[in-house]
Amino acid sequence: MKKHLYILLAATLMASATFADNPLPERDATQPDPNFHIYLCFGQSNMEGNAAIEEIDKTGVDDRFQVMSMCDGDRDINRVPGEWYTAIPPLCRANTGLTPVDYFGRTLVEYLPNIHRIGVIVVAMGGSGIDAFDKENYKNYYATTDDWQRSLMDLYDGNPYAKMVTMAKKAQKDGVIKGILLHQGESNNTQGDWPMKVRKIYEDLIHDLNLDGDEVPLFAGETLRQEEGGVCYGHNDIIARLPDMMNAYVVSSEGCAGANDGLHFTAAGYRELGKHYAMSVLKNVYRMLPGMPERPAERLTLEETDMEIQIGTGKELNLTADFGDGYIENIASIASYELSNPEVARVSNGRVIGLAQGETDVKATYTDPTGQTLTATFTLRATYFPFSEEFIHTDLFGEGIYDEATRSFSPGQYGQMGWVYSSGIDMSDYKYLVLKLDKPQNVNASINIYPESNIWTPNHSHPIEPNTTTIAIPLQEITYTSGDDLKGQPMDVSHVSIISLWAGAEGIIDVADMYLTNNDDYSSETTSISSVSTITVEEDEAIYNLQGIRMPDTDNLPRGIYIRGGKKFVIR
């Protein structure tokens, strides 16, 4: 309590002090301070700050939380562009409102050791589309947008990206950039190409500021939720794709109160959203989980010991530490991971992403607050076509039905269902896409391949003959079968976003397996499990786990992969 009282008093007394007025412990002033951590923040009105700043927001700001002035208009509030100031709102620029960045920084300095300072650079404009922040596309955006949008861009010399980079380079002389915060999307609501545009901006920033993308993540905030009256809540499904495409995290807007317009947050909502950003940064940058008890963990538990993932799509791990007394924490993001076959997948900050067809054993290691080390192991299979229900999109068109136990697809007449790859997959190294059916289909089915993440874009449609159970598509030879300008042209399969099964009539497509291969006999290059069935184990049939340990109780095997008679089988 004394700490918080001291911060409140100090911030009140020095509310108008600049960074220069508040010297920190002596250091080499010619070198960046490694403990001054800088965050770049950009977006549209919710990052700019739409709610009125209240009296509570003007007091209690720790001078360890600094903001760099961006615009000449800030001279109206006695700030000089390019200089650091105690982060008393407004943070974006003069005459803007409360932003999530306000309570993002306040929360960080509350939890981080006193030696750390936080600096923010905020470049945001109400109503701006994502192209306004692109280092190339901003020109066309500026030329074609409304006058009021141009006037906002003019505050940043007509080029918001360049302004952000220029000021960030200046800031790098003082400290170290640790992350990038984004809140944008209302002006690009549900646009499927938005994640790719965000990735380009992120990668440009990483390159132009000479940063390490593995060390400097992007934190993207959700739009206002539906339950709070949000009208762009559908864009949250688009935002959710970002972690599969780059070093990014989605910041939840759950519980953040919305304004009556359905687009913005209230002041209370911004305060809460800012804390959500901070908690994500504490967890994923600083490896801190506020509130964790200072006692040994009793055990680690994995939700899945046999995991199937889709290449090109990530999946959050649920690795929990039980500290006793009912306190259980998901520590997946702060554990370390060792893979027996790192070409198959990678695990980063508690998220596993499939890289290539295959299987790997994964060892998770966690050191608890007392220094005790605990481990857990699981098996991971990566495939382009996982058959777990969670990966099958039944509503690409129509309301399809999927039965995981039998792998039966029922798209409905003219319906489509299948796999979606949020970051795209590269199939150009393979000769064939092979579909194996349990029995011939009678629904006039086809396999559709889409380079774009929209089924209304040009595609290749490959009919499934009625009397066959093996369908092999020669990937190096396929052409577009739709699209006025592209029809008949070769299709580049180095970036595929959707692969679906289409039906021209009601009925079922019974799938045995689906895979990519270079084998001219259309056989799979990897061992796949085409079906799962109940087995009866004789007394003299030994069963081993993947670590080579014989299983004593063969009647009640937990979920996982096992070996019997030299062959693998799965218990689900």
Which residues form the catalytic set? 45, 261, 264
Tokens linked to 250: 């989605």
Listed in order, strand segments (DSSP E) in 10-153 are: 36-43, 65-68, 84-86, 117-124
Q: How far lies 231's CA from each of 19, 187, 243, 261, in Å?
A: 40, 11, 23, 9
Say whether 455 sits in a helix, a strand or coil. Answer: coil
> Bridge partners of 39?
120, 179
Closest Cα to residue 130, out of 141, 120, 122? 141
Tokens 């003082």 label which residue?
Answer: 174
d(CA 188, CA 120): 25
Amino acid at site 67: V
Instruction: Give the phi and the psi of residue 144 in degrees, each rounded to 5.
Output: -110, -5
Q: Is the dihedral of CA 13, 46, 220, 132 positive or negative?
A: negative
Q: Give the tokens for residue 240.
A: 């959710």
- Give the integer Cα–Cα distance in Å for 239 and 382: 23
- Residue 425 tokens read as 């997959």
Q: Which of 494, 454, 462, 497 is nearest to 476 (CA)?
A: 494
